[in-house]
Structure formats: C-alpha cells, structure tokens
Amino acid sequence: MRLLVFQHIECEHPGMLRTFLREDNVTWDAVKLDAGDPIPPLEDYDALWVMGGPMDVWDLADNPWLTAEKAAIRRWVRDLDRPYLGLCLGHQLLADALGGACGPQNPPEIGILDVELTPEGENDAIFAGMPKQQRCLQWHSVCVTEDPEGATVLASSDLCRNQAMRVGKHAWSMQYHVELEPDTVRNWGDIESYRAALENSLGEGALEAIDADAAKDMADFNANARKLYRNFMNAVT
C-alpha cells in the first residue's frame, strides 16, 4: 500500500499514526504544501490522508496552493473513488472541496472535550469497537456548516454538529484530533497563531492546563488512534 499525506505546517503530521504505519511497513509520502511541494500523480497512491493546519479553507490569497489541493481532493474522492482520511483542516477541506461549506465556529472548540457518535457512527466501519463517547483534543475556530452531497454525519458535540463524517463508501474525516503524541500540545503551542487562539478562548496558562489534561488521557487517545487506524486499514485493504 502506498499512502499520500498532505501537510500544511511542519508540526501537523500524522503523529501517533506514524507508529502504526511503521509497524505495518506502509510506505508514505508527505507533500508539504505550505513549503511549495508539488502534488504528485494521484494514480500512484492507494490512500490519501489530509492533516490539519493554521489556515482556513477560504484563505486562498495567502495560500494559493489550496486551490490545487481542493481539486486533488475532489478528484481523489469523486473520480478515483479511493480511501481518504482527513483531520481538522482535512475535515473542512473535504466538505469544501465536495460542494459543502465551512464557517466560523462560535465559540471556538479548544481543549480536551467529548464527542459522541451518532447512530450512524456507531454502525460505521471506521468506529468499530470504539466507545460511543470519546475524549479528544479540539483546537478549531472553523466548522463544517453545510455537509457535502453524499455525506453521513458520524459524530457530534454540544458545540459542533459535524465532528466526523463519511462521504461515499470510504472517505472519512474528523474535526477533532486523533493523532496525539505526548509532545503534540506543546509543539502546537509554539505556533503563534495556535497559542493566540488558545489563550483568547481560555486565558493565559491554558496551554499548560491542556497539556496536563492531555497527559491524563494519553493512553486512551493512543488506544483510540490505534483502533481507528486499524479500522481504516481493514476497510480499505
């Protein structure tokens, strides 16, 4: 299996999921779009993962490569019909590229919070063997406001209706983060825009508090990440 990964900032990579890829000897190529990497021929790959980032789906003036990325996602899902996994920005890009819409999340969701599977989510292959209610890291001020055609909402929270979705048979995405490692929160806190969003919402010292909260739940985060990864691989291979 050959995996293609779209990245939008150095610190938002597949995280803990890299461990599972190594264990399975999966070959994967990272395309660092913010650094100017070109998108390779999509036909050479079996699955596409799209990670998070500090930009929004409408920030085309500052990030003109978003246009090509959306076109690639649209072709991947609609024309090639190949497996997709999107996280945070990757969730929003899936919606936007396929004709849905995104808008401001008011208030922003930032912190270690709960999401709950919908009845459809409880019966979806991507969440097989996973609890109905899950703790996770949220760090977003944009949400999907209009689902794309063919989407099924798989999880929600009190503040965000579409926390996870599937489009078609095997394009999945989550608004929240499943890829956490022990140093993820600290690394993201080094990004000025990330820290500002965090402190604007939760106040000074919020980074340290969230890092401590994440450490308490890290074993569960990693167990859920392993299950989700395995479910994805089982569904697409």
Give the separation between CA 194 and CA 211, rounded to whole angstroms. 14
pLDDT lower than 50: segments of the chain: none
> Catalytic one among 8, 13, 170, 177?
177
Kindly state the tokens that stand for 194.
């990330």
Element at 2 (helix H, strand E): strand 2-7
Reported as a single tens digit per residue, the pLDDT across 19-31 is: 999 999 999 999 9
Active site residue 160: no
Contacts of 35 (CB under 8 A, 6+ apart): none
pLDDT of residue 208: 92
Burial class (CB in 10 A: 0-12, 13-18, 19+), 199: middle
Q: Which of 12, 109, 179, 181 is catalytic?
A: 179
In the annotation, is 140 catalytic? no
Catalytic residue among 88, 102, 136, 143: 88
pLDDT value for 237: 83
43 included as an active-site residue? no
pLDDT confidence of residue 179: 97
Fold of 2-236: Rossmann fold (3.40.50)
Supply the pTM of this predicted model: 0.96
